[in-house]
Homo-oligomer: A and B are copies of this chain.
């Protein structure tokens, strides 16, 4: 199977974000399973909050353009999304909104690309409700959100030394990454090659 290129990011800019830790674990597992991974940190892509007048006046901000160009190179996405008030974080929503606007690259950077949704949250549901919203958003952007996902509850106790404490959760994530990689690889096939 040809190597796929995954762009991985967390929907948080906090330095010690549980979701940053989670996306690093996921990115490493994806590399171990044979994918090429570009790990983005939204901290490095500060963008103004989207405003239609700002866009009309100045076009895509430089960091949004840079972000969009990197997303454009992806075959697939892995996103670890914190849950704020039963939805995605403002920083993730804003970055996805800018990346959905015209400019920097031609066409949609999401369309037809598989996306794996992960979350970690101190609460008992693990950020599940945020993933429901993220799934809706990615569907609207034309991506293929993978049918399975992983929401890790009690996130404040879930990580140790940059990894997942619980062996079963780690194995679940590892298995999920492999299945997602297989799904993403299949979707990447050009049809004539199938015949």
Q: Give A128 to B151 CA distance when docked, in angstroms.
A: 15
Interface size classification for chain A: 35 or more
A73 interface residue (CB < 8 Å to B): no
Of B87, B91, B185, the contact of A87 (CB 8 Å cutoff): B87
Of B12, B84, B133, B187, the contact of A97 (CB 8 Å cutoff): B84
**Contacts of A129 on B, CB cut-off 8 Å?**
136, 140
Most buried by B among A17, A140, A147: A147
Q: List 9 A-B contacts (CB under 8 A).
A: A14-B51, A49-B90, A50-B90, A85-B100, A86-B139, A87-B88, A129-B136, A133-B136, A187-B187
- The interface of chain A, by Cβ under 8 A from chain B, is 1, 12-15, 17, 49-53, 84-91, 93-94, 96-97, 100, 125, 128-129, 132-133, 136-137, 139-145, 147-148, 182-183, 185-187, 189, 191, 194-195
